[in-house]
């Protein structure tokens, strides 16, 4: 029944050049994300995007569109001619679709075409009457709080009729804010942090530290699956599988046990900073949240953060676990995140980790590590996977080959 899709977007605060760029990137992202469903004409007019002649693929396309950051909401619309008798019938179909078993409604008309012979209130009155007479179930008008609003937009050459409004994630289109490197574990938090970064327009690459055989192949599979789920929002994610085994062994051999976690995380941040540089990412993103575990006290964060000189974004820093879980469920990562495979933070948890480490103690504990060499070797042994919503589509043995 519906022919076209109307896409609403944008933050009201965006103006001028920023807005132009936002629109251009969003149009590109939409094209990319629906390409496999079909090639539709996409137009932008008066601050809205329209997808033309989507017809029977409407539901499928809407499901995709509502995952794209930058999309505020979408509506399936019927496009009719300017002839009143024609769009009266369309309005009845739209009402029946939105309100199949009776209830309350109102009509709202917008007349962008000032040449149209009838004024908006007149169109509203005529259509309201038509719907009340022809709708087959109990129907009353409620102008304040109706079950359904039938919107009529009269434009120069045609009329749009719709009632459903499906919410999208809002935010900024991916690509509007530069590139960031997400430190992704198999846990609940980091995929959520990645999604939040994407929702603010950050293009995400991901880095997972894998310590085979301390951590199993299955824990790696889990991270690939989480990345695949995130790629449903962005189209494509480059996932670096960081070789962390030798670093972990060296820490185990040369550093005091109660600082293992602190030093492991300092090594992660050091390596991530190098990888970010190779991939041209300007920031790191993590799933850290104050006080969640020993390494996430403010003191620990200070000691860990001291090894990097690029900004570390922590979108969840003040979120409660329940809030994080709510988002994880909404974006579809939760069920995968709670699968029980260990990550490299859980295999080496010492009995009593330091909750208030000091930078000078961490530095002293690292004197027997050949930090630069360990990181260079780890980077050379890391592999890169290109992940889309369909899974892995390409693999590279070296980070530098993945451009
Ligand atoms: P998560 O649920 O994201 O695993 P967490 O509550 O388990 O977080 P930590 O294990 O302390 O917390 O990790 C804090 C952050 O460090 C993670 O959110 C993630 O960004 C990063 N991180 C931890 N382990 C890894 C790993 N193996 N590979 C990449 N990043 C990691
Ligand atoms: Mg974790």
The residue extents of the domains of the chain are 4-167, 179-402
333 CA → ligand 2 middle, Å: 14
Q: What is the pLDDT of residue 13?
A: 67
For the stretch 159-206, pLDDT in tens is 999 999 999 999 999 999 999 999 999 999 999 999 999 999 999 999
Tell me the best of 181, 189, 382 to mutate to test the pocket of ligand 1, counting ligand atoms within 8 Å of each CB and taking the most: 189
Q: Which fold has domain 4-167?
A: VC0802-like (3.30.2130)
Give the strands of the sheet with 236-243, arranged side by side: 312-313, 283-285, 179-183, 203-210, 236-243, 383-388, 391-396
Give the closest residue (by CA) to ligand 1 atom 12: 288
Q: Looking at the predicted structure, is the pLDDT value of residue 363 above 70?
A: yes
For the stretch 365-379, pLDDT in tens is 999 999 999 999 999
Q: What is the pLDDT of residue 346?
A: 58
Cβ < 6 Å from ligand 1: which residues? 183-185, 187-190, 207-209, 286-288, 292-293, 295-296, 343-345
Q: Looking at the predicted structure, is the pLDDT value of residue 108 above 80?
A: yes
Dihedral through CA 222, CA 395, CA 28, CA 203, nearest 10? 60
Please report which ligand is nearest the Cα atom of 239.
1
Q: What is the pLDDT of residue 400?
A: 87
| 0.85 exceeded by pTM | yes
Which among 42, 39, 43, 34 has a CA at the least distance from the CA of 61?
34
Please provide the distance, in angstroms rounded to a whole number, between the alpha carbons at the two ends of the chain.
43
Give the CA distances from residue 60 to residues 9, 76, 152, 273, in Å, rounded to whole numbers and listed in that order.
19, 11, 24, 39
For the stretch 276-322, pLDDT in tens is 999 999 999 999 999 877 778 899 999 999 999 999 999 999 999 99
Share of the chain above pLDDT 90, in %: 86
Instruction: Check whether the bond before 213 is cis (ω within 30° of 0).
Output: yes
User: How many angstroms separate the CA atoms of 215 and 245, rounded?
Assistant: 9
71: left (phi over 0), alpha (psi -120 to 50) or beta: beta
pLDDT-wise least confident of 63-67, 137-141, 214-218, 275-279: 214-218
Residue spans of alpha helices (H) in 6-139: 16-34, 58-65, 84-98, 120-134
Q: What is the atom index within ligand 1 of the atom nearest the CA of 344?
A: 27
Residues 6+ apart with CB under 8 A from 192: 287, 315, 316, 324, 327, 328, 331, 333
Q: 225: pLDDT confidence band, cut at 50, 70 and 90? A: very high
Output 32 or 14, whichever has higher pLDDT.
32
Q: Looking at the predicted structure, is the pLDDT value of residue 43 above 90?
A: yes
pLDDT (average), residues 89-118: 96
Give the closest residue (by CA) to ligand 1 atom 30: 183
377 CA → ligand 1 middle, Å: 22
Q: Looking at the predicted structure, is the pLDDT value of residue 341 above 90?
A: no
CATH node for 179-402: 3.40.50.620
Tell me the best of 227, 273, 345 to mutate to test the pocket of ligand 1, counting ligand atoms within 8 Å of each CB and taking the most: 345
Residues 6+ apart with CB under 8 A from 301: 288
Q: 345: pLDDT confidence band, cut at 50, 70 and 90? A: low
Tell me the best of 187, 207, 331 to mutate to test the pocket of ligand 1, counting ligand atoms within 8 Å of each CB and taking the most: 187
């Amino acid at each position: 029944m519906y022919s076209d899709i109307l896409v609403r977007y944008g933050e009201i605060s965006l103006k001028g050049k920023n807005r132009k760029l936002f629109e251009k990137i969003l149009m590109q992202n939409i094209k990319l994300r629906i390409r496999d469903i079909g090639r539709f004409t996409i137009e932008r007019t008066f601050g809205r995007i329209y997808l033309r002649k989507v017809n029977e693929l409407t539901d499928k396309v809407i499901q995709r569109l509502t995952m794209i950051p930058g999309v505020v909401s979408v509506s399936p619309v019927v496009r009719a001619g300017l002839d009143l008798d024609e769009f009266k019938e369309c309005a009845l179909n739209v009402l029946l679709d939105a309100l199949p078993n009776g209830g309350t409604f109102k009509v709202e008309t917008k007349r962008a075409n000032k040449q149209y012979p009838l004024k908006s209130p007149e169109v509203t009155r005529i259509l309201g009457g038509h719907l009340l007479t022809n709708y087959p179930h109990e129907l009353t008008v409620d102008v304040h709080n109706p079950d359904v609003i039938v919107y009529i937009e009269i434009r120069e050459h045609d009329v749009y009729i719709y009632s459903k409004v499906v919410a999208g994630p809002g935010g900024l289109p991916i690509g509007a804010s530069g590139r960031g490197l997400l430190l992704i574990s198999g846990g609940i938090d980091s995929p959520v942090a990645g999604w939040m970064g994407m929702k603010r327009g950050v293009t995400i690459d991901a880095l997972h530290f894998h310590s085979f055989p301390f951590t199993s192949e299955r824990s790696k599979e889990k991270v690939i699956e989480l990345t695949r789920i995130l790629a449903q929002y962005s189209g494509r994610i480059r996932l670096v599988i960081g070789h962390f085994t030798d670093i972990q062994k060296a820490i185990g051999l040369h550093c005091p046990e109660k600082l293992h976690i602190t030093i492991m995380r300092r090594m992660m941040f050091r390596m991530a900073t190098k990888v970010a540089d190779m991939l041209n990412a300007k920031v790191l993103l993590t799933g850290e949240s104050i006080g969640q575990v020993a390494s996430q006290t403010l003191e620990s964060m200070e000691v860990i953060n001291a090894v990097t000189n690029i900004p570390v974004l922590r979108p969840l820093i003040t979120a409660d676990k329940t809030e994080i879980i709510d988002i994880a469920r909404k974006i579809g990562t939760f069920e995968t995140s709670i699968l029980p495979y260990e990550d490299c933070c859980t295999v080496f948890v010492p009995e009593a980790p330091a909750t208030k480490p000091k930078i000078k103690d961490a530095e002293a504990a690292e004197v027997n590590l050949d930090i630069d060499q360990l990181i260079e070797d780890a980077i050379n042994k890391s592999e890169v996977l290109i992940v889309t919503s369909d899974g892995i589509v390409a693999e590279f043995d070296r980070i530098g080959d993945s451009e």
